[in-house]
Homo-oligomer: A and B are copies of this chain.
Amino acid sequence: MLSGKIIGRLSMYRRVLGNLCDSKERRLFSHELASLSGVSAAQVRRDIMHIGYSGNPNRGYDVEALLESIGQFIDEPGGHRVALVGAGNLGRAILAYFSGRRPNLSIEAAFDNDPEKYGRVILGYRCYSIVDLEAVISEKNIRSAIITTPASVTQSIADRLVAANIRGLLNFAPVALRVPSHVYVEDIDMTTSLEKVAYFASKTSYTKG
């Protein structure tokens, strides 16, 4: 069974390898990639084995070829088109963040229900009325969506996205979405993450006195 964790690690390896490639590194060992990725060396070797690439004992892995293999394993041929729903503070920060970050992932449209926002171009991305969600997604052949709407409307937005044939959701709203099993949901819950940090930060300071 294919786990989301390996995709996450491969994504991280690719970023590390991309930096190495830029600085003209040609080869590296599993323990080097492990150290730069915060993963164990054995895990790195297993992951690389998994995508069908082979290294060379005593010479390690070819940076460029490994990068290529990871791309072939992860990337959708022809690129993957994404929509952003909710062009508030967080949504706009995400638009800025993803600008040109992954060539294979392109944000094709933003949506909002605020007339002040739709009908304009925000940070280089066209913003549409939420009314046109289904039409634009279909027309532009968008397959995934980033949701940054208020919690109260998130489930209904997700329902509409699923009906519009979206297959993956990146959900920033603090809501447990109900979607059919063929739709993949990844949650980013910033409040929960910060609460975890605060919890463990206070515990370690307690144990230290």
Whether B15 contacts A82 by the Cβ 8 Å rule is no
Whether B204 contacts A105 by the Cβ 8 Å rule is no
Please, how many angstroms separate the alpha-carbon atoms of A92 and B102 in the complex?
23
Most chain B CB atoms below 10 A, which of A2, A96, A204: A204
Sample of 11 further A-B pairs with CB below 8 A, known A11-B189, A186-B196: A8-B193, A38-B177, A80-B198, A89-B92, A90-B96, A98-B194, A105-B194, A143-B205, A168-B204, A170-B197, A184-B197
Whether B174 contacts A15 by the Cβ 8 Å rule is yes
Interchain CB contact (< 8 A) of A105 among B36, B89, B94, B195? B195
Interface of A, secondary structure class, is: helix
Chain B residue contacts of A104, Cβ below 8 A: 198
Task: Give 6 nearest A-B pairs by CB, closest first.
Answer: A168-B201, A38-B176, A184-B200, A93-B93, A167-B201, A168-B197
The answer to whether the Cβ of A188 comes within 8 Å of any Cβ in the partner chain is yes
Whether B191 contacts A188 by the Cβ 8 Å rule is no
Whether A4 contacts B92 by the Cβ 8 Å rule is no
CB contacts under 8 Å to B, within A153-209, are 166-170, 174, 176-177, 182-184, 186, 188-205, 208
